[in-house]
A and B are shown apart, each in its own frame.
Chain A
Amino acid sequence: MTLAMWLAIFATLYGLGMWLLLPRRIAAGRAAGAVLMTAAVAILGTRLVPPGALTTNILFYALAAVTVVSAVCAMTFRSPVYSAIFFAVSVLATAGLFLVNGAQFLGVAMVVVYAGAIVVMFLFVLMLAQPEGLAFYDRLAFEPLLCSVSSGVLVFLLTITLLTPGTLPSVAPLAEAGADGRAADGLPGVEAEAHVAAIGARLFSEHLISVQVVGVLLFVALVAAAAIASQSRRSPPPRTAEGGTA
């Protein structure tokens, strides 16, 4: 079978599985959806080229599978608490993928900022705002069939574009960089021994203005969040969907 046929099978299984897994009026078929989705991920895994030595391959395949499967779980579980926890698992696996790909600093930053801060904030808001039990809007979804079909088409086009030989450049500049792995301008490259020192040298020389802009942005966001949160305290009485006061 050709690559296109395999990928078409993958995209079909993915779309079907996504449709079965998403919240719908009829709750039946979720186990079948899980089986189809697992099969789809496995088929895609067999189409990927193993990137390197045995350890790297095992690490990559395991982490990629955990990332994708927990992402699907985060989007399809009814309870938003489970969604937040599966999102944290997906972020942790992504941090592992970053470590495999020579981005140690970013791996650690993902764990600290995403899994450590943002997910905890999600859970706080959930505890504050979520009514008890599963709400009806968690058991319904907007247009699950249309979205699954279009997502299946999207992943088919993406994977066939990326996996067809010849689309991507065939020689990596990293492979030509020489023994010391220096970048084109002489500064240490991505695979340098002192990774954080190299990243800091770049960050505070070439990208200094971006760092300052991001600092201002963080400060503005802090002020905005405080302003929005304090505004709601003196809000008018809540209104129902029909327009009357509750």
Chain B
Amino acid sequence: MNEVALLQNYLVVGGLLFAIGLVGFMTRRNTIVMFIALEMMMQGVAVSLVAWSRFHNDFSGQMLVIMIIAVAACEAAIALSLILMLARRSSNLDIAFWQLLREEGQEPTLDEEVPAAEIEHEPWPELTPAGVEPELDPEKVRYRSHV
């Protein structure tokens, strides 16, 4: 097996994963997608470390990846509980909602033109009303959460 070519190819894949994760972290506004991008960058680093580990016939690279996986698990637990707390306070996952925390003198991010939603509504069949409206128990109507 051509070990140098193998190392080269794995490093290219790891670098691409890192670059793609970087773009995702910089551009996306959903906190969870930002966090996925962060994990993707760590994955790129892990790919590179495994490639070097094989090239040098040395387990240290793989040991580092084991540590990375453990740290990623810790990070996921803490970050997701933070995200959940932020989402409860702002009732959405938008990172720009928290831009009041920005440094003094920074321009605020404004988004005036929100693109229209791309969801098409399914055409439900409409039924013609027929028969007598049923009598409803007022007690049940009062305590029903929704109709």
Interface residues of A (CB under 8 A from B): 18, 22-27, 44, 48-53, 56, 60, 64, 67-68, 71-72, 74-76, 78, 80, 83-84, 87, 90-91, 94, 97-98, 101-103, 105-106, 109-110, 113-114, 117-118, 121-122, 125-126, 128-131, 133-144, 147-148, 151, 154-155, 158-159, 162-163, 168-175, 177, 181, 183-184, 189-191, 198-199, 202-203, 206-207, 210, 214, 217-218, 220-222, 224-225, 228-229, 231-232, 235, 238-239, 241, 246
A214 and B33 within 8 A (CB): no
Q: Which residues of A contact B62 (CB under 8 A)?
A: 103, 105-106, 190, 199
Size category of the binding interface on chain B: 35 or more
B12 and A128 within 8 A (CB): no
A75 to B20, CA, bound (A): 7
A94 and B89 within 8 A (CB): no
**Contacting residue for B8 out of A48, A80, A199, CB 8 A:** A48
A168 to B119, CA, bound (A): 50
Q: Which residues of A contact B58 (CB under 8 A)?
A: 173, 183-184, 189-190
Q: Which residues of B contact A26 (CB under 8 A)?
A: 115
Contact indicator per residue, chain B 76-89, by CB within 8 Å of chain A (1) or not (0) = 11101111110111
Q: Which residues of B contact A110 (CB under 8 A)?
A: 46, 69
Question: How far is the CB of B8 from the nearest CB of chain A, in Å?
Answer: 6
Contact indicator per residue, chain B 23-44, by CB within 8 Å of chain A (1) or not (0) = 1101111101101110110010
**Contacting residue for B50 out of A106, A203, A224, CB 8 A:** A106
* B130: Cβ under 8 A from any A Cβ: no
Question: Given A122-B80, A229-B85, are A106 and B32 also a contact pair (CB < 8 Å)?
Answer: no
Q: Which residues of A contact B88 (CB under 8 A)?
A: 129, 232, 235, 238
Question: Knowing that A118-B72, A238-B88 are A-B contacts, what are 9 other residue pairs whose CB atoms are under 8 Å apart, sorted by A's residue number?
Answer: A22-B23, A27-B118, A84-B32, A97-B50, A118-B73, A184-B57, A184-B58, A214-B70, A224-B77
Q: Which residues of A contact B35 (CB under 8 A)?
A: 122
Q: Which residues of B contact A229 (CB under 8 A)?
A: 81, 84-85
Interface residues of B (CB under 8 A from A): 1-13, 15-17, 19-24, 26-30, 32-33, 35-37, 39-40, 43, 46-47, 50-51, 53-59, 62-63, 65-67, 69-78, 80-85, 87-97, 100, 109, 111, 113-115, 117-119
A203 and B33 within 8 A (CB): no
A80 and B33 within 8 A (CB): yes
A53 to B43, CA, bound (A): 26
A49 and B9 within 8 A (CB): yes
Question: Given A75-B23, A83-B33, A170-B4, are A129 and B78 also a contact pair (CB < 8 Å)?
Answer: no
A71 and B81 within 8 A (CB): no
- A–B Cβ pairs within 8 angstroms, 11 of them: A22-B27, A52-B2, A83-B36, A106-B66, A113-B73, A118-B72, A133-B117, A140-B29, A162-B11, A184-B57, A184-B58
Q: Which residues of B contact A78 (CB under 8 A)?
A: 118
Please give me the residue from chain A that is nearest to B10 by CB atom: A101
A40 to B32, CA, bound (A): 28
B29 and A98 within 8 A (CB): no
B97 and A135 within 8 A (CB): no
A189 and B51 within 8 A (CB): no
Q: Which residues of B contact A117 (CB under 8 A)?
A: 73, 76
A109 and B66 within 8 A (CB): yes
A222 to B19, CA, bound (A): 31
B29 and A90 within 8 A (CB): no
Question: How far is the CB of A238 from the nearest CB of chain B, in Å?
Answer: 5
**Contacting residue for A121 out of B20, B65, B76, CB 8 A:** B76
